[in-house]
Structure 1
Amino acid sequence: MPAIERIDTFIVDVPTIRPHVLAMATMHAQSMVIVRLTDSDGVEGIGEGTTIGGLSYGEESPESIKLAIDTYIAPVLRACDAAQVGATMAAIRKSVRGNHFAKCAIETALLDMAGKRLGVPVSELLGGGRVRSALPVAWTLASGDTARDIEEGEAVLAQRRHRIFKIKIGKRAVADDVAHVGAICKAFAGRASVRVDVNQNWSEAQADLGMGMLHDVGVDLVEQPVARDAVDAMARLSARHTVPLMADEALNGPRSAFRLASSAAARVFAVKIAQSGGLLAGGEVAAIAAASGVELYGGTMLEGGVGTIASAHLFSTFPELSWGTELFGPLLLTEEILSEPLGYADFELAVPTGPGLGIALDADKIAFFRRDRTAPVVHASA
């Protein structure tokens, strides 16, 4: 059996093209944990573990992801058959609780290896295989400045890159946020879908007021307006309002998906491979949604190229993807860490057809952006 012989983990810090303002943090750079596995047959696989704003978004940070892999997951990996992805991940889950982002990075690398070993894309290892070759991609307007957001939206529309806009709100008073969003809705009426993400920053009373006002100004979707554990409040808001409520932070794997679906707490699920604990668990979340009549959106943790394309492989297998995806993470960064940029064109992202993830790291960019720049250069993965 092929055994894992080398496990490389390192953090890369890449600046963003502009400040990215969220309710819980303002990002000026993205920190990504890159994993590279090499087995005894010489097959390599890459994965990514990325979160937002250090520990301001959730319980894992880039530093804790790397620590979990190096200290607790690596010994389990070395004892497993690298070709048996499901069995290997089951062994990791038995030994390591939680740490979904770290597990997702490892599973992504294992699936990349499996696809290369078999000569097929990762999408063909998931569910029934891909049903689409490209995915609609939203762009997040998060400068916080109305005129700047409209100018930015016009630019990406003209480039035929995005016609779905998500606006980050929740830091200002509800009425001020609605005025900001309403101006953007008016600017793009009939040309783009406008959604908002509150990132859990409203109380139920604020959400009740805000969702009604946002519907009136033309918003199509409201993402996670209240705290992730406020499932009853989400259910009440979903029952009261016409504009759909989308669950994001409330989703952290199949069990949470089942609870949300059975409680009618959301009409849309934002599936994220990292929050779910990997691509396989993300597929289970999507299956629960489909069986429950909940619509799907392909979410992001603002990953770089590796995590973005891993998500794209999974999302390409969803029979229905009513709300598109948000896989714009690499476009928010000043530099691409892949040897070839991902294919964004005509408002969509192309899903690679090569073996595994179908991508490779840019060795020079990785060496430059590594936090530990004195470490050996990681060569591009084939």
Structure 2
Amino acid sequence: MNPTVHSVEAILVDLPTIRAHQLAMATMQQQTLVIVRLRCSDGVEGIGEATTIGGLSYGDESPEGIKLTIDTYLAPALAGLDATNVHAAMARLNKIARGNRFAKCALETALLDAQAKRLGVPLSTLLGGAVRPTLPVLWTLASGDTQRDIDEAETLLAGCRHNTFKLKIGRRSVRDDVAHVSAIKRALGERARVTVDVNQAWNEADAATGIAMLEAAGIDLIEQPTPREQRGALARLAARFVVPIMADEALTGPEDAVELVRGACADVFALKIAKSGGIHGMLRTAAVGDAAGIALYGGTMLEGTIGTLAAAHGFCTLPQLAWGTELFGPLLVKDDIVTERPVYRDFDLHLPAGPGLGLVIDEDKLAFYRRDSVRVTSRPAAAA
């Protein structure tokens, strides 16, 4: 008899960031993770993560809402189900609740992690196998201070950690943002790619003005310049400019991918496992884009190590990944809740070799950083 799902625990974890991280809609001083621990009747535990950016200012799910949804609706629906049949379990959840992709992603990750551990193989093996052992990773320069961002980029270039940099813009006037980005591109020159993420902050007229100036400044990629609902505006901008336009917030899953392809709305798709409802949803979305000749990019919700490596296991199986990834979330937080943090070297993220995600939870760190902690009085030593 196959093992069944015995229990599911959803835990809110608050991790401090290494610096303020500015987005168009919010400034982050910490990152909140929802960590899922799924225990099976055979003693195997799978772990997963759901993380959002800027709470409800970014999207429809908040960390608190994700935990509530899992505790109240999704975990009870999984109880007693075959823990080895991930597709059947997720089909059950899709009948219980519409949407709630982030919550479902965390649970799917935990089910996949448990099954891969049970079989003694990396999670990517369950997806058909990795076609690349490492993934290129960019870094977001989001302090808002031009010289500080230049200095940060120079340090990371010199240390061979990142050679592509993304600028978060949209909080200031178009011309001020363009001046900020252009100065950084001039300083870095051809030694690094520079991209921008507007996070939907511009209307179409401002986007046309801003993109023209950014294209002239040598910027390599423009991410989601206009609101996600305005697909027509995105299509007109994609047709007007040579610099690639990437859809991010406008793309939540394969259904959106079909509509974006039909409308010629973007040159690049930002793939995120959380927005797609899990790794398998992301793979379906990627297949639509790849078949239509859309370039692919591995996105992030600034997850901690668990969510980051779940995405990495999925992205490493994609035949095409022209724009690399931005899986730098673990580098943005001062500490983490796993015994070994990911390895970033030679501009790439290196996947661990162990079974499942290749991770082990640090119980002391989890006890300290979980929001409902009442037992821990001193902070454990930071991980190396």
- TM-score, structure 2 length as denominator? 0.96
Corresponding residue for residue 294 of structure 1: 294
C-alpha contact 2:6 2:80 (8 A) present in aligned 1: no
> What is the alpha-carbon distance in structure 2 between the residues aligned to residue 53 and residue 169 of structure 1?
15
Q: What is the aligned partner in structure 2 of residue 379 from structure 1?
A: none
Q: Is the 8 A contact 2:178 2:210 kept in 1?
A: yes
List per-residue Cα deviations over 1:236-279 (Å, max 9, x = no partner).
11000111100000111110111111111011001000001100
Could you tell me how far apart the structure 1 residues matched to 2:126 and 2:209 are? Answer: 45
Q: What is the SS of the residue equivalent to 2:32? A: strand
| Contact 2:257–2:289 (8 Å) recurs in 1 | yes
Give the letter aligned to residue 260 of structure 1: L
Q: 1:258-297 to 2 correspondence within 5 Å?
A: 258-297=258-297
Three-state SS of the structure 1 residue aligned to 2:53 is: coil
Query: Matched residues in 2 for 1:159 and 1:218: separation?
Result: 24
Q: CA deviation at 1:75?
A: 1.2
CA distance in 1, matches of 2:351, 2:260: 30
Structure 2 CA distance for aligned equivalents of residues 129 and 86 of structure 1: 18
Q: Which residue identity does 2:118 align to in structure 1?
A: R
Match of 1:169 in 2: 169
Deviations 1:331-359 (A, max 9, x none): 00011221011011010001122111111
Task: Tell me the CA shift for residue 374 of structure 1.
Answer: 2.7
User: Match for residue 347 of structure 1?
Assistant: 347
RMSD over equivalenced CA pairs, Å = 1.0
- Letter matched to residue 123 of structure 2: V
> What SS does the corresponding residue of 1:251 show, helix, strand or coil?
coil
Amino acid at match of 2:97: V
Structure 1 Cα separation of the partners of residues 229 and 172 of structure 2:
22
Q: Take 2:157 and 2:374, find their aligned partners in 1: how far apart are those partners?
A: 41
1:21 is matched with: 22
Aligned-partner Cα distance in 2 for 1:349–1:40: 34
Matched, 1:98 2:128: no
Q: Please give the per-residue CA displacement for 1:12-38, whole angstroms capped at 9, x wherever unaligned.
A: 101100000000000000000000011
For the 8 Å contact 2:7–2:75, the answer to whether it is kept is no
Worse-superposed segment, 33-42 or 117-126:
117-126
Partner of 2:56: 55
For 2:192 and 2:287, the matched residues in 1 are separated by 28
SS of the aligned residue for 2:33 comes to: strand
CA distance in 1, matches of 2:269, 2:216: 23
Q: Secondary structure at the match of 1:189?
A: helix
Q: Across the two proteins, how many residue pairs are aligned to each other?
A: 375
Spell out the pairing of 1:310-349 with structure 2 (5 A cutoff): 310-349=310-349
Structure 2: how far apart are the matches of 1:2 and 1:234? Answer: 47
Query: Which residue identity lines up with residue 231 of structure 2 in the other structure?
Result: V
SS in 1 for 2:154: helix
2:12 aligned residue: 11
Deviation at 1:320, TM superposition (A): 1.1
Q: Which residue of structure 1 aligns with residue 155 of structure 2?
A: 155
Q: Which runs of 5+ in 2 are unaligned?
A: 377-384
Q: Percent identity?
A: 60
Q: Distance in 2 between matches of 1:124 and 1:228?
A: 34
Cα deviations across residues 86-145 of structure 1 (Å, max 9, x unaligned)?
A: 01001100111100000000000000011011111111111x321000000000000011
Question: Does the residue aligned with 1:30 lie in a helix, a strand or coil?
Answer: strand
Q: How many Å apart are 1:293 and its aligned residue?
A: 0.2
One-letter identity of the residue aligned with 1:258: V
1:306 aligns with 2:306: yes
Which runs of 4 or more aligned residues in structure 1 lie more than 4 Å from their structure 2 counterparts after TM superposition?
none
- Which residue in the other structure is 2:121 paired with? 120
Which residue of 1 is the match for residue 381 of structure 2?
Answer: none
Deviation at 1:79, TM superposition (A): 3.6
Structure 1: gaps of 5 or more residues: 377-382
Q: Helix, strand or coil: the match of 2:190?
A: coil
Q: Deviations over 1:256-313 (max 9, x none)?
A: 1111111110110010000011000000011001000000000000000000000000
Which AA in structure 2 matches 1:109?
A
What residue is the counterpart of 1:380 in the other structure?
Answer: none
Q: Which TM-score applies when normalising by structure 1?
A: 0.97
The alpha carbon displacement at 1:375 in A equals: 7.1
Q: Per the alignment, in what secondary structure is the counterpart of residue 269 of structure 1?
A: strand
> Does structure 1 residue 69 correspond to structure 2 residue 86?
no
1:224-239 alignment runs, 5 A limit: 224-239=224-239
Q: What is the distance in 1 between the residues matched to 2:59 and 2:156?
A: 30
CA distance in 2 between partners of 1:363 and 1:155 (Å): 33
